[in-house]
Structure 1
Amino acid sequence: MIRRAVLTFALLTAALAGPAFAAEPPPPVTAQDHVLGRADAPVTVIEYASFTCSHCADFHNEVLPAFKAKYIDTGKVRLVHRNLPTAPANVAAAAAAVAICAAPGRYFDVAEVFMRDQANLRTTGAKPWFDAGVAASGKTREQIETCLSDPATGAALQAQIEGAQQAGVAGTPSFFVNGKPVAEHTLEALSAAVDPLLRR
């Protein structure tokens, strides 16, 4: 079923080759979003990322732990993770769907595994990578496979892709701090955008 999902989501991600949209603020945060941190945090950081993007993995593996300790764990920032699949986009989209299908509260567990083990895609192939993601999901393989075949899962991912396009996202990872884009994904760049908002 995972292999079938990879092929199915290839059709979904064909929209990525479409025309660019005029840049607008990213869509507002809703109950459909996956959020790390307190709902009432004064600063919202929206990240558009892909589970097959090496720069995204660098952020999640090297920068996010320090950013989380400094801002998220202290209640200052909530991080919203949204998917914009990149090459191979069908694999990235299927991985995003596995994360979306995870049990409540387990989305970021799946994301952590996919980002941590991303380099293994080039050596061991996709199956062990997907197996690890499913194992972190808090659901059985059968439950994940049922969710992957649900049209609502594809619609949820499509909404994230369209939101990224509307916001003018040209690559991953891309960040918006309280709706404004941040050019770099370093701790220093994000801190420079976040800290003035905390002093208000």
Structure 2
Amino acid sequence: MLILALAIAAPVASASAPAVATEQVAPVTAADRSIGRADAPVTVIEYASFACHHCADWHQFVYPVFKSRLIDTGQVRLVFRNLPTDPLQMSVPAAALARCAVPDRFFDVAAALMHGQRAVLNGGTLDAWYVPAIAASGRTRAQIDACTTTPATRAAIERDIDSARASDVDQTPSFFVNGRRAMDPSLGGLEVAIRAAAAR
């Protein structure tokens, strides 16, 4: 099993936080998992964990509207970077599973994992959690099992973690809009940051 020693605090909302801070983030590469036009005027980078309930809430309740309003209309490309949090025995294998999906199925796998997260945190089994994610992955169970243990998969997750550390990301989910940290992860907060980025 892939084990990475990393613990990230859960996000704390701050009503007084600015819409956008000045931290920079590593640029997007071909190794990143993304959805939306590659030439979209705004790129949003999300650091998230499959064991983070704030992340699951965002993906279940905010992402569908975010996608229909901003991604499907060509305004935004969303990039997902894995930042595993405790419990690592849950978040790290899930990150590897998602990474091993057919690239254009990544967000389908992420949706399945986020949707099923609460059941695992409430005592469900990891194997039951993986079943719908593997079904959405475009791979067989054998292919996923073989891929998740490879050095390349580990390296990909470690690149995401290194990128987060370099940008002082200390909570999940965290978002960067055209390279600048967005402090409000709500739909409205991100739309404000996206409009500001598009106007620059």
Give yes or no for TM over 0.5: yes
Instruction: Report the CA distance between 1:183 and its aligned residue.
Output: 1.1
Contact 2:52 2:85 in 1 (8 A): yes
- Contact 2:33/2:103 (8 A) holds in 1: no
Q: Is the 8 A contact 2:42 2:194 kept in 1?
A: yes
Q: Following superposition of structure 1 onto structure 2, how do residues 130-169 of structure 1 map, counting pairs within 5 Å?
A: 130-169=130-169
After superposition, residues 184-199 of structure 1 pair within 5 angstroms as 184-199=184-199
Q: Deviations over 1:16-52 (max 9, x none)?
A: 259xxxx962211000001110000000000000001
Cα deviations by residue, 1:136-184 (Å, 9 ceiling, x for unpaired): 1111111111111211100110110111011100010000001111112
Q: Secondary structure in 2 aligned to 1:168?
A: coil
Tell me which residue corresponds to 2:61: 62
Q: Give the aligned partner of residue 171 of structure 1.
A: 171
Amino acid across the alignment from 1:183 = M
1:53-132 to 2 correspondence within 5 Å? 53-121=52-120, 122-132=122-132
SS in 2 for 1:105: helix
Q: Which moved more, 1:115-124 or 1:65-74?
A: 115-124
Unaligned segments of structure 1, at least 5 residues: 1-7
Match of 1:9 among 2, 10, 32: 2
Find the residue that maps to 1:79 and give its secondary structure. strand
Select the structure that is richer in helix. Answer: 1
Which shifted more, 43-52 or 123-132?
A: 123-132
Query: Contact conserved, 1:24 with 1:166, CA < 8 A, in 2?
Result: no
Instruction: Provide the rounded CA distance (Å) in 1 between the counterparts of 2:68 and 2:102.
Output: 24
Match of 1:3 in 2: none
Residue by residue over 1:43-84, the C-alpha shift from the partner in whole angstroms, topping out at 9 and shown as x without a partner, is: 000000000100001110001111111110000000000000
Q: Secondary structure at the match of 1:119?
A: helix
Aligned to 1:5: none
* Letter in structure 2 aligned against 1:133: A
Matched to 2:103, the amino acid is P
Work out the CA distance in 2 between the residues paired with 1:51 and 1:98.
11
Letter in 1 for 2:74: G
Once the two structures are aligned, what percentage of the paired residues are identical? 49
Q: Residue type matched to 1:138 in 2?
A: G
SS at match of 1:48: strand
Cα root mean square deviation, aligned: 1.6
The one-letter code of the counterpart of 2:60 is N
CA distance in 1, matches of 2:106, 2:7: 27
Q: Is the 8 A contact 2:46 2:78 kept in 1?
A: yes
2-structure distance, mates of 1:163, 1:26: 7
What TM-score do you get using the length of structure 1 for normalisation?
0.88
